[in-house]
Amino acid sequence: MGRRQDNRPVPRWLMHLAPHEFYASLLDVDTAGLAARGIQGLILDLDNTLAPWRTGEPARELAAWIDEALGRGLKCHIVSNDHGPRVRLFTRLLGIGGTAKALKPAGRAFRLAMAIMGTSPGRTAVIGDQLFTDVLGGRLQGCHTILVAPLSEHELGWTTVMRRLERAVLKRLQDAGVLPLEPRRRGDGR
């Protein structure tokens, strides 16, 4: 829509930051479609993916989405760089497992999550709001990766800096046609 296409080839390193899918929010992610493509486990980011940064409790719609995923046979495990008490609050309220202080994009917590869920990288999807932690980390493990738009803009320090860089990478991927200009929403038929 009026945006110029950028025909330069996307450098290979940049493709490590390219999610396989891009959704407006976690609640828009099509769990039936994931199950149909053979995905058996979901690695879920916490902050700005499951809940806005620093909010205390998950929304009721989130619990329903998790139940829907579990009902389709998808195992779920939170992998968060946040501290233990916050991750434990969400694992308890949602009834799923979780790993805190994950140091994403490092691979250890991703591999641990897959070991706990009993899934292989090819059958695991990583869902998160950050290219340099969630998408890069998932890509390096060979997982299916899904970027969601962040739930809130309120973040501190390092994340704010990374966001600027992230927006530039996202724009480059969108201009090259690797990613759609608009994220998918539930029921938009794509």
Binding footprint of Mg ion on the chain (CB under 5 A): 45, 47-48, 129
Q: Which residue in this structure is represented by tokens 């917590």?
A: 109
Cβ partners under 8 Å of residue 177, min gap 6 = 5
CA 124, distance to chain mean position in Å, is 12
Residue number, 21 or 47, with CB nearest to Mg ion: 47
CB of 135 to Mg ion, least distance (A): 11
What distance in Å separates the CA atoms of residue 78 and residue 100, rounded to the nearest whole number? 8
Q: CA-based diameter of the chain, in Å?
A: 48
What distance in Å separates the CA atoms of residue 123 and residue 145, rounded to the nearest whole number? 11
CB of 31 to Mg ion, least distance (A): 19
CB of 175 to Mg ion, least distance (A): 24
CB of 104 to Mg ion, least distance (A): 9
